[in-house]
């Protein structure tokens, strides 16, 4: 699959990675939108308006004070121009890369397994860029939740006809996403073209779970717990688009071993089970989604970011009678999309922590 054409920063006025000019200098604002341009919140599509979860007094307990402090420091920054936020995100990513030793190590091991043909120095640059993109992604996601209109007219899409055709046939759509570094911004951009529900796993930290859930109510019509089969079946029966990401290692209780970047990996088989739900005459269509930032992380002065969405054709003859073959097909599709820009996928997760006989010590090996 050919990647969308990259934005050419050589045409920009300023390409440096230094901090934006001080307030005393003349600052170039993002190009103004034409008068009457509808904002992203005016064109957003939803299946329903989800209710926010109420605040709980337990969130004021001392064990949550550190999270509150981080939120108090970071949230005001999302009201800066995007160029400044991207600069801060790069600095944040580099800082985490230096401080989060175990995550950095996991990333380097994953990249050594997935790209053994690349020199070690190149993989180290890739690993650092993963953290940079994730730092930028923190600000992208917070803006998607609380300042979505800054992304007005920043997205293009290809393959939308595959989803529209399935919907016109009265089918629900299981949209296979992945853990890309832009996080929930991808969901916001998708809802410019179609309404979607999403599946999620609850966070272990109650305050973070409350904060993330309420942020996502501004994007998705319904958030479906992976354990809430009743809500899931309801959305499928109503013909909704359901965003589901099967790209993480959840063990082999509900998965099988299938190659991912040429390495055997525990692969959850939920997608094939979802495809069997709902109407027997018009079963859900399964297709994949790629979300991709085309502009560089050092956003040039006076330029707006741009994002591209790709929807693949639906999987034919899916599910089959062979769950390993089905898992392999899904992994191959996701891999082809991630390869468009590998540094925009979360390589710091332990994607290969399970082997055929249970957990393995692959993350204790020497990095090659």
Q: What is the pLDDT of residues 186-221, one digit of tens each?
A: 999 999 999 999 998 889 999 999 999 999 999 998
Spatial neighbors of 366 by CB under 8 A, at least 6 apart, are none
For domain 40-363, give the fold: Glycerol-3-phosphate (1)-acyltransferase (3.40.1130)
pLDDT-derived band at 301 (thresholds 50, 70, 90) equals: confident
- What is the per-residue pLDDT for 14? 39
The mean pLDDT of 131-159, rounded to a whole number, is 96
Least confident of 21-30, 100-109, 212-221, 268-277: 21-30
Is the pTM for the entire model greater than 0.85? Answer: yes
Task: Pull the structure tokens for residue 313.
Answer: 């054709």
Tokens of 71: 């939120």
Phi then psi for residue 96, to 5 deg, are -65, -35
Flag the least confident range among 27-36, 151-160, 289-298: 27-36
363 versus 49: the higher-pLDDT residue is: 363
User: 99: how many CB neighbours lie within 10 A of its CB?
Assistant: 9
C-alpha distances out from residue 277 to 229, 236, 283, Å? 10, 7, 7
For residue 225, what are the β-bridge partners?
Answer: 200
Structural tokens at position 316:
């034919």
> Residue 142: beta bridge partners?
none
Rounded mean pLDDT, 246-264:
92
């Amino acid at each position: 699959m050919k990647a969308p054409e990259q934005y050419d920063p050589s045409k920009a006025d300023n390409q440096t990675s230094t901090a934006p000019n001080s307030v005393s200098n003349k600052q170039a604002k993002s190009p103004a939108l034409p008068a009457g341009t509808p904002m992203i919140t005016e064109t957003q599509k939803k299946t329903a308006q989800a209710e926010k979860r109420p605040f709980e007094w337990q969130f004021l307990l001392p064990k949550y004070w550190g999270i509150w402090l981080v939120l108090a420091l970071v949230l005001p920054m999302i009201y800066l121009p995007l160029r400044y936020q991207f600069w801060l995100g790069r600095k944040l990513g580099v800082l985490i890369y230096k401080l989060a030793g175990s995550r950095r190590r996991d990333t380097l091991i994953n990249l050594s397994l997935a790209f053994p043909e690349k020199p070690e120095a190149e993989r180290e640059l890739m690993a650092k860029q993963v953290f940079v993109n994730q730092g930028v992604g923190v600000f992208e996601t917070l803006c998607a939740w609380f300042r979505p209109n800054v992304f007005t007219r920043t997205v293009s899409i290809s393959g939308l006809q595959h989803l529209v055709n399935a919907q016109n046939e009265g089918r629900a759509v299981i949209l296979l996403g992945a853990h890309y570094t832009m996080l929930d911004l991808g969901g916001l951009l998708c809802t410019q073209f179609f309404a979607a529900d999403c599946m999620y796993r609850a966070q272990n930290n109650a305050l973070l779970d409350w904060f993330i859930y309420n942020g996502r109510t501004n994007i998705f019509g319904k958030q479906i717990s992976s354990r809430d089969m009743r809500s899931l079946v309801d959305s499928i029966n109503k013909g909704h688009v359901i965003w589901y990401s099967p790209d993480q290692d959840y063990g082999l209780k509900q998965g099988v071993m299938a190659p991912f970047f040429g390495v055997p990996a525990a692969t959850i088989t939920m997608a094939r089970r979802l495809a069997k739900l709902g109407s027997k005459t018009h079963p859900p269509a399964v297709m994949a989604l790629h979300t991709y930032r085309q502009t560089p992380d050092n956003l040039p002065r006076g330029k707006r970011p741009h994002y591209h969405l790709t929807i693949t054709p639906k999987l034919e003859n899916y599910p089959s009678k062979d769950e390993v073959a089905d898992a392999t097909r899904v992994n191959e599709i996701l891999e082809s999309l991630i390869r468009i820009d590998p540094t925009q996928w979360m390589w710091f997760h332990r994607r290969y922590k399970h082997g055929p006989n249970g957990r393995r010590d692959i993350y204790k090996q020497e990095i090659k």
